Amino acid sequence: MKTIDKITYETVKKIFTEYLFKNGHRKTPERFAILKEIYSTNGHFDVEKLHTKLTDKKYMVSRATVYNTIELLLKSKLIIKHQFGNNSSQFERSYKYSQHDHVLCLDTGELLEFCDPRIHEIQESIAKIYNMEITHHSLTFYGRCKDNK
């Protein structure tokens, strides 16, 4: 892990530890191994790929433990869940991760991220119009890659 990643990991580990304690869950080494793997990897992941990465690194962790830990990480707001048009859920870390949106190529499955400040302006405008606090949003564009035609 890089130094900045180590600092981030220590922070999310503390947040997760407090969440587990507050909600009566056990603090197991497997849960923290899963958290560490997620926060030492960039990009999106699914549960199966995460489980494979963990077992390749010789962590003895069951799929059920991975699924259960993912649910706890979602509830503690340390990861975000996405559904990109197929049946497979994708996740990404959320702590100190800049707001962004997605473009998915339907031909290749390539997932790209982008950030456009106009979207934030629209979000603020909607919040003002409807007198709400927007907590998060999800925007995904789906298209066909021109290079594949």
What is the percentage of the chain residues whose pLDDT exceeds 70? 92
Using CB atoms within 10 Å of the CB of residue 84, give its burial: 0 to 12 exposed, 13 to 18 middle, 19+ buried.
Answer: middle
Give the pLDDT confidence score for residue 32 in this predicted structure: 95
Alpha-carbon distances, residue 44 vs 81, 83, 131, 144 (angstroms): 9, 11, 33, 20
User: Do 32 and 63 form a contact (C-beta atoms < 8 A)?
Assistant: no
User: Do 67 and 47 form a contact (C-beta atoms < 8 A)?
Assistant: yes
* pLDDT tens digit sequence for 56-74: 999 989 999 999 999 999 9
Domain 101-148 bears CATH identifier 3.40.50.1450: no
Please name which of 46, 142, 137 lies closest in space to residue 90, comparing C-alpha atoms.
Answer: 46
Instruction: Please give the model's pTM, rounded to 2 decimal places.
Output: 0.76
User: Do 69 and 34 form a contact (C-beta atoms < 8 A)?
Assistant: yes
Give the pLDDT confidence score for residue 3 in this predicted structure: 44
Which one of 1.10.1060.10, 3.40.50.620, 3.40.309.10, 1.10.10.10 gives the CATH number of domain 3-93?
A: 1.10.10.10
Q: Considering the chain, what is the average pLDDT of its residues? A: 87
Per-residue confidence band for 129, with pLDDT thresholds at 50, 70 and 90: very high
Q: Using the 8-state DSSP alphabet, how is residue 146 labeled?
A: G
Q: Which residues of 61-82 are buried (b: 16+ CB within 10 A; e: fewer)?
A: beeebbeebbebbeebebbbeb
Domain ranges of the chain: 3-93, 101-148
Give the pLDDT confidence score for residue 42 in this predicted structure: 82
Cα–Cα distance, 112 to 109 (Å, whole number): 10
**Same fold: 3-93 with 101-148:** no
Q: For the chain, first and last CA: distance in Å?
A: 40
User: Do 48 and 66 form a contact (C-beta atoms < 8 A)?
Assistant: no
Cα–Cα distance, 33 to 16 (Å, whole number): 12
